[in-house]
């Protein structure tokens, strides 16, 4: 049940599981050139799935649908998914491969005490439906009893701290990460928390969708309270909604929470406790196991002030109702079928539009990943990862770094002093490819085959202790925050590192047999995207050591902001759903990552040609294949409820704008596809945004 909160402080390529289909590489087929004329391809792989393309859509008008139109028209979102695209296709491949590994571990005797033995034992416990059904709500009882024992506000704060250990929700969250102001040390972070709905707007806005969500939220709580044997479910549900609404009103929104300066507030324990006299912060710290720490980073200081008032004014009986709900909510996916169905009906069907729950084996694979992710990852790499991919990635990263360095030197808007600092930061980037050099130790994980909830809680406690043990210790630069079987990538500002798990190093992102143009448009742009996060509107605030400090001249910072504001305005004009627009401020970092990343990937691709012209393959020039490689990565369909949710919560723009919104700013795209005034993607030169 425990999910490492530090993921909130790294910047990922895509929100959610990611993937694509290695079987999608075409060999001999009919293709179309940009003018719509048919041509016969040879046996040389394009690396582009031309069957997905729609020749009826001009690339100059809608490049996203030109490359992906037939796929978008013919694909149906699977009933157990809220969205579907190239990332999900790869995720499905990785999931099936993991199932093979896990099934083998579950059926094999294996050496005692081995990770394979633990994987098999946990998976058997998950798949033991008979035991789970027989247990019913029984696994909840000790935890509900613990809530019932809270008899005063001091004990309440202590419980808020204890809840961290097992992943149970509370209005305050704690985790350990590098101190952003001094990245040679770990420090405890404190942050707002405690909401059940996807975003504060779900509580505070009175549109039809949000009113309906709140009504069904109340009904859901009443339903599960009855299943858990708790009385007064209707009253409790109303009280919980009112309490969470008050918490939501006190919390910072997602745009403000992106601000690395505003969310870095290093306080001594004396100041933390004395400035929040309405909260017994020492009791919280003791409960969380960090009572002896002397310094903390508080991400939203005024939230603590507001929380003190909310704690003081809310009856203890209501807090117990809220905490009972948090226990049930976290445990529900691992309880009997009635709890699982209720959890799915509200959080997936109502809030995301998903039609049916995933099969139990898929949920089991996900649970094994949540508890023994690197143990599975080690077996995954041994069986499925091609070592030659790592060498090719090293070469592409070197080319991307060189392209970025050359770009910094030629920036007309940046002063020489700031360029020196930018180059120093770029030189210190650390790439991590495919899998960790050091694997996690799971020897302390005690598992049973007849109590799934106990297994989840044991895992949560193990990971919590692993996190606590960082305090006072050296920085672990070998640590990964994604498993090798994850289809994604990330930038960690405190480490100044870019990380590419093994599972993303497959087509359409990376194809060892494909032309370089497609690879640079795919994984090359992903590499560029992660490099660029070190220089986006928030990443630029750290230096090469990951330390939060201002290394910009005032004039350069103003010029950066002027250009970034242009990108904010462009994206704020996009409206994928009637009445809703992309939040240009929330998505700014990812949009800068996409624009700068694709720009750098293009330059790296041109460098890789060593002055030679790229071959024309199936009627497409190298530059055209490069941009097509980018576009095919982002094909994706969304259910409307899921798209609405993402527009409020996701710092990534919807996929079509990650294509059309970016290429419309790049002169190289105009040249490759002869984009002219009057074409839908044409922007006058003075309106195009260029940052890096």
pLDDT tens readout for residues 259-279: 999 999 999 999 999 988 889
CA distance 44 to 678: 35
Task: Identify the architecture of domain 140-357 in CATH.
Answer: Orthogonal Bundle (1.10)
Of 126, 176, 98, 19, the closest CA to residue 375 belongs to 98
CATH topology of domain 5-18+39-94+369-436+480-687: Collagenase (Catalytic Domain) (3.40.390)
Contacts 24+ apart (CB under 8 A), 470-477: 470/176, 470/186, 471/176, 471/186, 471/187, 471/188, 471/290, 471/293, 472/186, 473/186, 475/178, 475/183, 475/184, 475/185, 475/186, 477/430
Least confident of 11-20, 519-528, 680-689: 11-20
Helix, strand, or coil here: 615? Answer: coil
Say if residue 28's pLDDT is above 70. Answer: no
pTM of the model: 0.93
pLDDT (tens digit per residue) in 571-591: 999 999 998 999 999 999 999
CA distance 248 to 201: 8
Say if residue 38's pLDDT is above 70. Answer: no
Q: Where are the domains of the chain?
A: 5-18+39-94+369-436+480-687, 140-357
23 — pLDDT class (breaks 50, 70, 90): very low
pLDDT (tens digit per residue) in 556-568: 999 999 999 999 9
663 — pLDDT class (breaks 50, 70, 90): very high
Residue 16 is predicted with a pLDDT of 64
Q: At what angle do helices 588-608 and 525-533 cross, to 10 degrees?
A: 130
Burial class (CB in 10 A: 0-12, 13-18, 19+), 405: middle
CA distance 123 to 376: 12
Query: Buried (b) or exposed (e) across 103-117, using 16+ Cβ within 10 A?
Result: bebbeeebeeeebbb
Give 362-378 as a 3 state SS string.
HHHHHHHHHHHHHHHHH
Of 303, 248, 280, the closest CA to residue 157 belongs to 280
- Residue 587 is encoded by which pair of tokens? 């998505």
Query: DSSP readout, 18-73?
Result: ----GGG---S-EEE-TTS-EEE--SS--SS-GGG--TTS-TTT-HHHHHHHHHHH
Query: DSSP readout, 643-673?
Result: HHHHHHH-SSPPHHHHHHHHHTT-HHHHHHH
Helices and strands in the chain: count of H runs, count of E runs: 28, 12
User: What average pLDDT does range 70-75 have in this prediction?
Assistant: 98
């Amino acid at each position: 049940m425990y999910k490492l909160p530090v993921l909130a402080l790294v910047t990922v390529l895509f929100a959610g599981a990611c993937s694509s289909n290695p079987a999608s590489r075409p060999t001999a087929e009919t293709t179309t050139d940009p003018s719509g004329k048919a041509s016969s391809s040879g046996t040389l792989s394009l690396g582009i799935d031309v069957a997905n393309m729609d020749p009826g859509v001009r690339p100059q008008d809608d490049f996203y649908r030109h490359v992906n139109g037939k796929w978008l028209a013919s694909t149906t979102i699977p009933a157990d998914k809220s969205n579907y695209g190239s990332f999900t296709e790869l995720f499905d491949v990785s999931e099936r491969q993991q199932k093979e590994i896990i099934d083998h571990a579950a059926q094999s005797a294996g050496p005692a005490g081995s990770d394979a033995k633990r994987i098999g034992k946990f998976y058997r416990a998950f798949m033991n439906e008979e035991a789970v059904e027989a247990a019913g709500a029984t696994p909840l009882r000790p935890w509900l009893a613990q809530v019932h024992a809270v008899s005063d506000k001091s004990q309440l704060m202590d419980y808020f701290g204890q809840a961290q250990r097992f992943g149970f929700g509370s209005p305050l969250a704690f985790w350990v990460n590098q101190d952003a102001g001094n990245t040679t040390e770990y420090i405890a972070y404190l942050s707002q928390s405690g909401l059940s709905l996807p975003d504060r707007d779900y509580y505070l806005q009175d549109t039809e969708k949000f009113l309906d969500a709140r009504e069904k939220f109340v009904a859901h709580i009443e339903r599960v309270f009855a299943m858990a044997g708790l009385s007064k479910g209707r009253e409790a549900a109303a009280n919980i909604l009112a309490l969470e609404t008050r918490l939501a009103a006190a919390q910072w929104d997602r745009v403000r929470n992106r601000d690395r300066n505003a969310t870095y507030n290093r306080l001594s324990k004396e100041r933390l406790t004395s400035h929040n006299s309405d909260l017994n912060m020492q009791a919280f710290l003791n409960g969380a196991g960090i009572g002896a720490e002397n310094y903390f980073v508080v991400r939203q200081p005024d939230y603590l002030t507001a929380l003190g008032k909310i704690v003081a004014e809310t009856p203890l009986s209501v807090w117990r109702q809220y905490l009972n709900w948090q226990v049930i909510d976290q445990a529900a996916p691992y309880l009997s079928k009635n709890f699982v169905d209720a959890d799915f009906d509200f959080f997936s069907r109502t809030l995301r539009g998903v039609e049916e729950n995933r099969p139990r084996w898929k949920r089991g694979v996900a649970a094994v990943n949540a508890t023994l992710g690197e143990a599975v990852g080690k077996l995954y790499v041994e069986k499925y990862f091609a070592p030659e991919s790592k060498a090719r990635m090293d070469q592409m990263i070197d080319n991307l770094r060189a392209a970025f360095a050359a770009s910094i030197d030629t920036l007309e808007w940046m002063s020489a002093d700031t360029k020196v600092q930018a180059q120093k930061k770029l030189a210190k980037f650390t790439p991590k490819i495919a899998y960790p050099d050091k694997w996690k130790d799971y020897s302390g994980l005690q598992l049973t085959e007849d109590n799934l909830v106990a297994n989840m809680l044991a895992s949560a406690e193990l990971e919590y202790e692993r996190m606590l043990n960082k305090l006072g210790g050296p920085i672990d630069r070998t640590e990964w925050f994604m498993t090798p079987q994850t289809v994604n990538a990330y930038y960690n500002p405190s480490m100044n590192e870019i990380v590419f798990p093994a599972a993303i190093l497959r087509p359409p992102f990376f194809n060892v047999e494909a032309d370089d143009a497609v690879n640079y448009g795919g994984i090359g742009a992903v590499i560029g995207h992660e490099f660029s996060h070190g220089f986006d509107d928030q990443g630029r605030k750290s230096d090469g050591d990951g330390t939060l400090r201002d290394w910009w001249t005032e004039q350069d910072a103003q010029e950066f902001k002027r250009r970034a504001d242009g990108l904010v305005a462009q994206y704020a004009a996009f409206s994928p759903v009637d009445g809703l627009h992309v939040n240009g401020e929330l998505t700014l970092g990812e949009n800068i990552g996409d624009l700068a990343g694709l720009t750098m990937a293009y330059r790296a691709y041109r460098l890789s040609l060593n002055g030679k012209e790229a071959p024309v393959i199936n009627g497409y020039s190298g530059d055209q294949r490069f941009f097509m490689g980018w576009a095919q990565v982002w094909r994706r369909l969304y259910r409307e409820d899921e798209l609405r949710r993402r527009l409020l919560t996701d710092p990534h723009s919807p996929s079509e704008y990650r294509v059309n919104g970016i290429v419309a700013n790049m002169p190289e795209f105009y040249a490759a596809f002869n984009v002219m005034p009057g074409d839908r993607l044409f922007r006058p030169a003075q309106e195009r945004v260029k940052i890096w």
